[in-house]
Structure 1
């Protein structure tokens, strides 16, 4: 962990120690190094005053991935984190080497953000056709390995014998490996794939089993102690984020501009204003996975069967030794309260919002 993060977390610990609900100043951890339009609902919740309405003064801290988020929340360095559940659930199992006393309290992403893909002009159209091929991942110890192996097994391949996984890093390094045909396919997360597209190296996702495609992903978690002792804090944040999502879905250009206003470095450096906005809208399209037709407009709800599928996925991959019950992974106790707000009012606000105020 770098010295800046250690210092920040030391300060965060002091500011959130004791009764965070009374102090109302909290830090929320997000699992990415750099801000982009994919986190716009979090930013909208703060910029538009939804967090203020809940009596919360929130600072967002960007950290290196979901594993880091889970560890820091479990250590008490922040009360809330937004993290992919795979690593957290591994830490929840009985007898875990490094047990994490965490639980998810509001679902956010309703589909698996990890895909197996090929360059758009590749002759490969099915996972089974990857036999004998090289598959790029950021690192051999990354979550991509778990997902990639599952996709290969689902297609009848042996991931330890039929393919070669190659660590290619991320960003420009990964794009160069793809262009130079160092690898034939990639296992990357959703926003990375969008970034490839924006940079002129689009990829095409290969079809995978529906159960794997619908595994739950990045959602809000907290220590079980926090869930028990500070429900108002968690409900308030969950509700503010739900409002931020409703606003962004109703006015995506506003949330692109809002992201650029708060994080100027996230704005594309080249192109016309129209081209820049088009790129931002591609990135914010990842919000399509933040809702599910099975739930309609309800925010934060958990689809239990999919979380059980997640447990099975980890079991089959050897990451856990026995299933983790859904009741251990998440709690629904706050979902109804999170949804107690006037959604039509938020949508109206979004549609009437003056984009010029963000320029």
Structure 2
């Protein structure tokens, strides 16, 4: 079983050192703020390419190191302090924070989750039928720093409703969250699709309530970096994001292989207490929707991996202003073009996409 420390020796044995930096110290390790708090196999859209058999990062002089975070707030603080190089950007949290703190100068450089992966789940017999019914209810979230709070506020604001009478209750993940729903400690849960799927796996029956139409049209995950890093380490960022784009396409095309590669790179994330086949079935269920959310919608006019648009960032500002009840947010943020950048995207996509798909389809570890 390969571990992270095997890479230096393994690359030479596999004949994959061509194009590698001449000296090990030239390798730029890009630290990512990981708010999942674990090296979960759903991260294979990044991690698959770290395996020597794919080798999507190191020949270009970069690699990824995960730094676990408890919340988006902690991730933003770590980016501001320079403890990590890149992290997830959730506009509903990031934009108000940037408006309050001008020193938090972040720019979103890659949209890793172009479809909306947020869900509302309730018990099958719940009277909640639409997002509007969340007003005044007890809303389950993973933690008090979780994006579920902002997502709920955003959807209610879209409907002209307030969340001032909502109670947000941290119920965690998996079995604890399922117990909270089963025992009526909460009326609904707002979370990412993967979190809801994990609850279903522990035996809790759920009914999915549609998210609001306007919110449903925006993506739900970007990668942001300090503006200084974008200016000073452009080449490394292109290499990093190209590796992510290739890993994403590979894992979408062959999810089983993506999971195998993640487990090989991060053996501590392998299942414990159950067979690998059982774990794989669980992961296939958890990621049944997520793997498609990694990819752009077929009707998206811009099919480049990672690309953003000014229109969606204006929509993000508008929704954040509504959810925070701050009508001056757009004014405080200034030019919306400064919030995102597509300047790396053409270079990031400068690879043979079909070749990656074919590699994935025929891949054997």
TM-score category of the 2 structures, normalised to the smaller one? 0.7 to 0.9
1:71 aligns with 2:77: yes
Match for residue 289 of structure 1 among 290, 293, 303? 293
What's the CA shift for 1:306?
1.9
* Cα offset, 1:156, TM superposition: 5.4
User: Taking structure 1 as reference, are residues 334 and 99 closer, same or farther at Cα in structure 2, changes over 3 Å only?
Assistant: same
Give the structure 1 partner of residue 255 of structure 2: 252
Counterpart of 1:221 (choices 214, 219, 224) is 224
2:194 & 2:185 partners in 1: Cα distance? 22
**2:98 corresponds to which residue?**
92
More moved, 52-61 vs 146-155:
146-155
Whether 1:81 aligns to 2:87 is yes
Match of 1:326 in 2: 336
Unaligned runs of 5+ in 2: 1-24
For the residues of structure 2 that align with 1:258 and 1:50, how far apart are their CA atoms?
Answer: 12
Q: 1:300 aligns with which of 283, 298, 306?
A: 306
1:142–1:295: structure 2 CA closer, same or farther, 3 Å change rule? same
Provide the C-alpha distance between the structure 1 equivalents of 2:163 and 2:91, rounded to a whole number of angstroms.
23
Q: Which residue in 2 is equivalent to 1:188?
A: 191
- Equivalent residue, structure 1, for 2:14: none
- Please state if 1:110 is matched with 2:117: no
Corresponding residue pairs, total: 332
**Change in 2 beyond 3 A, CA 1:314/1:184:** same
**Cα distance change on mapping 1:143 and 1:319 into 2, 3 Å:** farther
Per-residue CA deviations over 1:288-347 (Å, capped at 9, x if unaligned) read 112222056420100332221110111112265321443121011111000000111111
Are the counterparts in 2 of residues 40 and 255 from structure 1 also a CA contact under 8 Å?
A: yes
SS at match of 2:116: coil
CA contact (8 A) 1:194 1:282 kept: yes
Partner SS for 1:33: coil
Contact 2:91 / 2:317 at 8 angstroms: preserved in 1? Answer: no
Inter-CA distance 284–264: structure 2 relative to 1 (3 Å threshold):
farther
CA RMSD, 1 decimal: 2.5
SS at match of 2:338: helix
Structure 1: which 5+ residue stretches go unaligned? 1-20
